[in-house]
Structure 1
Amino acid sequence: MNEMSSTTNLRDHVEITTLISGFFRAMDERRFDEGWGGAHFTDDLRTTTPLGVAEGADAVRGVEEAIGRFAATLHMSSDVLVRAEPGARTASASWNAHMTHVHLDSTLHARGEGANPLFTVGGVYEAELRRTDSGWRISRMSVRAVWTMGEPPVLPEETATRVAELTGSPASG
């Protein structure tokens, strides 16, 4: 690999890693102003999560709705692996994530005295990215939980039913 290729790979790695960190920071700071999705995703984004598959604007709204089920969150990414050929218009990335979620007071109240205020997840993200005129953007993203501690949020009945159908577990709303 010549020096130019090495420089390009390093620059792409830094830009993609910064994009991932910015995405997590936007979630944790709840910076969902107009256009936040376009700063991180392509218009045809497709996400796959334990709650199902979503595309486009629905996928971006799904991120906002998921974060809104908690009083606070803290997402940490590590071990970002980027695969991109020098000068390529597409790339893939994967990373580990430690995600801590603080339940809403309404969730704790519904669960009763002694309810655990935290829901913590260790997971793995996989993403496909596309180089746009504005820089790298995520076009496909999936998250898989490797382990969890605590109870997940109380889901709206429709969402709980959909999750039960996807996972084969009983619905709980």
Structure 2
Amino acid sequence: MTVDRDELRDRMEIVDLMDRYLRSLDEDETYDEDWARAYVTEDVRSEVPVGEAVGWREVARQTEAALAQFERTHHVGANHVVDLDGDRAAVRCNAVMTHLHPAALRERLGERFTVGGVVEGEVVRTAAGWRLARVAIRPVWFDGQPPLRPGGVAPDGGGVPVTPPRG
């Protein structure tokens, strides 16, 4: 069996991109152009439980608004799978995403909202390295109460779209 060092390097860089992206969601980042250039393409597409967005500015705005609902978050990715195709690749990892509600809402919502799911996407090689051209977060399960909707209304039945179980 021969080892293709370029392919191994590509895989390591893509896994690193995914890990850094997930970590960036927890570090009180400013979701600005510098953040976007480190992780996504200019025309990135995002499909997450709070909605869809296209373009780095809209994705950055959506990310900041979603994470601002929580006092802290902790995103952990594992079991990365990378399917390389030249200068493009499909990537997938399992993730556990824990969100701490603000202290003022804990009596009503509980301390935390945890989601187990899949983070998947498409990455492309750019002059600056691998970047996400599409990223999707697909919840599989959740525990706890999701954040309140605008107006302080709790979503009925959890309010998080969950991937149906395999049958």
Runs of 4+ aligned residues of structure 1 deviating over 6 Å after TM superposition are none
Amino acid at match of 1:63: T
Contact 2:31-2:61 within 8 A present in 1 as well: no
Render the CA deviation track for 1:54-96: whole Å, top value 9, x for unaligned. Answer: 11111121111111110001000000000113xx211110000
Length-normalised TM-score, structure 1: 0.82
**1: distance between equivalents of 2:98 and 2:49?**
16
Length-normalised TM-score, structure 2: 0.84
Render the CA deviation track for 1:113-171: whole Å, top value 9, x for unaligned. Answer: xx4111000000110011000000001011111000000011225xx89xxxx96xxxx
Richer in helix (by share): 1
| 1:51 paired residue number | 50
The worse-fitting range, judged by mean Cα deviation, of 130-139 and 49-58 is 49-58
Q: How does 1:1-173 map to 2 (within 5 A)?
A: 3=3, 6-32=4-30, 34=32, 35-56=34-55, 57-85=57-85, 88-108=86-106, 111=108, 115-157=109-151
**1: distance between equivalents of 2:7 and 2:81?**
12
Root mean square deviation, CA, Å: 2.4
Amino acid at match of 1:116: G
Tell me the SS of whatever aligns to 1:29. Answer: coil
Count matched residues: 156
